[in-house]
Amino acid sequence: MRPSLIQSARDAADAVSAARRPGRTVGIVPTMGALHAGHLSLARAARARCDSVVVTIFVNPTQFGPREDFARYPRDLEHDLDLLAQEQVDFVFAPDLLEIYPPGYSTYVEPGTVAELWEGACRPGHFRGVCTVVLKLFHILPADLAFFGRKDYQQVQVIRQMVADLNLGIQIVVEDTIRDVDGLALSSRNAYLSMEQRQRALAIPAAWQSAQRNFSQGVNDPAILEAAMHKILLDAPIDHIDYAVCVHPNSLHRVTVAEPDSVLLLAVKVGATRLIDNATLGGATP
Amino acid sequence: MRPSLIQSARDAADAVSAARRPGRTVGIVPTMGALHAGHLSLARAARARCDSVVVTIFVNPTQFGPREDFARYPRDLEHDLDLLAQEQVDFVFAPDLLEIYPPGYSTYVEPGTVAELWEGACRPGHFRGVCTVVLKLFHILPADLAFFGRKDYQQVQVIRQMVADLNLGIQIVVEDTIRDVDGLALSSRNAYLSMEQRQRALAIPAAWQSAQRNFSQGVNDPAILEAAMHKILLDAPIDHIDYAVCVHPNSLHRVTVAEPDSVLLLAVKVGATRLIDNATLGGATP
């Protein structure tokens, strides 16, 4: 059965408070829609752990830069609702722009230091927009657990820092990245890729898999691991490398010696399409 | 009976969630301590309207500028607890610095446009600190109503904007400024004044009372009303006028024609002590 669709914040708050009885848990899955199997795995994880599950669908303008793809970001609410019907989601909160940012809106979250690096440096204001909308959603829909995908690794760390710093009583649950059979991480932005670009994009998982192999063979100099990733990306060729680095799992600072829990973070452009991916250095190659 | 004192955020959250049963309301009164009759009137208002009342006492460093009076701001927790005993407050949350700002703390609220003017311009970062700590307190102690004094008029507007923008489900209640018999608004900072400075500080209420009288006699040009305030302040003499203006009650922009609901906002220095006050233009002179 299709989940019921709620578009006003007030109705959403009412629906959650009705669902929030003592001993019953509410799970929230924030998304920008254009749902793929990665999002659905989050809904499924929420369904398994919570008594009520709400998925939010909102293409959040404040997390896009002025030259980014807000206008053309894929939107298909009807299809999203069909997909969520299979996951027994209780309701979908899909507000319009003015419901979230009414005239005169001007309060923002200034995210913590972990937001300054990598995506924060490449996309100024991105995490400010992410944190602001996520905080608003947490207030509108007071849930016990919130589910995020590991593909947006830095985003998860930024949100964790916000939750800790602002004393939010919500538990952040992170689910593994879902990949296509060829290894490419699922992303709504994959829809932008031509066949030829998609082939080249496979250098992204190939790059971090290569670094993982090197590490398993005893290489623990992050500079060598990063060079290995760059080589594979440049050979593809990937059109632009924003970063391909080996970092500490929490601080996201570059490590001086690679450890099994170090994280490989990558952001590249294939044509005009920006793609990100990550993997734990000592993790199993999928 | 003295209210129980809670110093950890976790204990405070537990105490509030125990008090928060369906149909029962929780009221919060955020303060920086050094309590005076103004704070006590907030506690009394909360007591009258809520089933449980919590007063917070925390001298918040992030709302003080580097050259401001954070270090010497008056602190007397024992005396504050004695005063609150008379108001039947259920508990007092008085965390230490590291409980609110642990190492690595770095997430802040960027307040809305109403924070840019007046106090925001004179005290850069002040409202960022205010909003951040108030949001944290609202998260730690999820209350139904929050009580603030009207003396900090702009602060109330900034917090109202944060509550609306961030979809916080808390109701902001504003209580009238409490004044000494001589008309000076109660403030913990009045303790800094010498006898001679206090005498000169009486020019503050005299200034807005004069503007109120002019308005009641038909003067509705804000420039004339502001000039009347400035004259009284300069004659006292007040040592420095930060602003003495006639503004719209919500936007806090200067009005072009004074209306009964316009607000007179004043900030001055007497010696090294910065004092603020305000009054509704058409309001009764106390």
Does A203 contact B at CB distance below 8 Å? Answer: no
Q: In Å, what is the CA distance from B119 to each residue of A59, B64, B89, B155, B156? A: 35, 12, 31, 9, 12
A283 within some domain: no
Does B150 contact A at CB distance below 8 Å? Answer: no
Asked if A100 and A195 sit in the same domain, the reply is no
Closest alpha carbon within chain B to A100: B165
Asked if B123 and B11 sit in the same domain, the reply is yes
Asked if A36 and A147 sit in the same domain, the reply is yes
pLDDT value at residue B181: 97
Q: Does A106 contact B112 at a Cβ distance shorter than 8 Å?
A: yes
Phi, psi of B178 (to 5 degrees): -100, 135
Asked if A254 and A200 sit in the same domain, the reply is yes
Does A194 contact B at CB distance below 8 Å? Answer: no
Residue where one domain finishes, among candidates A175, A206, A238: A175
Confidence of residue B19 (pLDDT cuts 50, 70, 90): confident
Q: Does B113 contact A135 at a Cβ distance shorter than 8 Å?
A: no
A to B CB pairs, distance under 8 Å: 67
Structural domains in chain B (count): 2
Confidence of residue B283 (pLDDT cuts 50, 70, 90): confident
CB of A169 closer than 8 Å to CB of B16: no
Residues of chain B contacting residue A16, judged by C-beta atoms under 8 Å apart? none
pLDDT value at residue B20: 84
Residue where one domain finishes, among candidates B118, B148, B175: B175
Residues of chain A contacting residue B104, judged by C-beta atoms under 8 Å apart? 112-113
Phi, psi of B267 (to 5 degrees): -140, 125
Residues near B94 by beta carbon (within 8 Å), at least 6 away in sequence: B5, B6, B7, B33, B56, B57, B58, B77
pLDDT higher than threshold 80 for residue A216: yes
What is the tens place of the pLDDT at every residue in B43-97? 999 999 999 999 999 999 999 999 999 999 999 999 999 999 999 999 999 999 9
pLDDT value at residue A180: 97
Percent helix, strand and coil across chain B, each to the nearest 5: 40, 20, 40
Asked if A135 and A202 sit in the same domain, the reply is no
Instruction: Tell me the pTM.
Output: 0.96
Closest alpha carbon within chain A to B110: A108
pLDDT value at residue B5: 97
Region B114-130 average pLDDT: 97
Residues near A217 by beta carbon (within 8 Å), at least 6 away in sequence: none
Region A197-224 average pLDDT: 98
Distance CA A33, CA B64 (A): 42
Phi, psi of A53 (to 5 degrees): -125, 130
Domain containing A89 — which CATH number? 3.40.50.620
Region A232-243 average pLDDT: 97
Place of tokens 């600190």: B129
What is the tens place of the pLDDT at every residue in B246-266? 999 999 999 999 999 999 999
Pairing of strands A91-93, A4-6: parallel
Q: Is A230 one of the catalytic residues?
A: no
If contacts are CB pairs under 8 Å, which of residues 81-110 in chain B contact chain A? 104-110
What is the tens place of the pLDDT at every residue in A142-179? 999 999 999 999 999 999 999 999 999 999 999 999 99
Asked if A43 and A76 sit in the same domain, the reply is yes
Give the DSSP H or E segment for B155.
helix B153-165
Closest alpha carbon within chain A to B9: A167
pLDDT higher than threshold 70 for residue B284: no
What is the tens place of the pLDDT at every residue in A173-196? 999 999 999 999 999 999 999 999
Q: Which of B130, B73, B87, B108 is nearest to B273 (CA)?
A: B73
Asked if A27 and A155 sit in the same domain, the reply is yes
Confidence of residue B285 (pLDDT cuts 50, 70, 90): very low
Residues near A116 by beta carbon (within 8 Å), at least 6 away in sequence: none
Q: Does B131 contact A161 at a Cβ distance shorter than 8 Å?
A: no
Which range marks the domain in which residue A259 is found? Answer: 188-278
Q: Which of B87, B85, B65 is nearest to B77 (CA)?
A: B85
B64 within some domain: yes
Domain containing A203 — which CATH number? 3.30.1300.10
Asked if B154 and B221 sit in the same domain, the reply is no
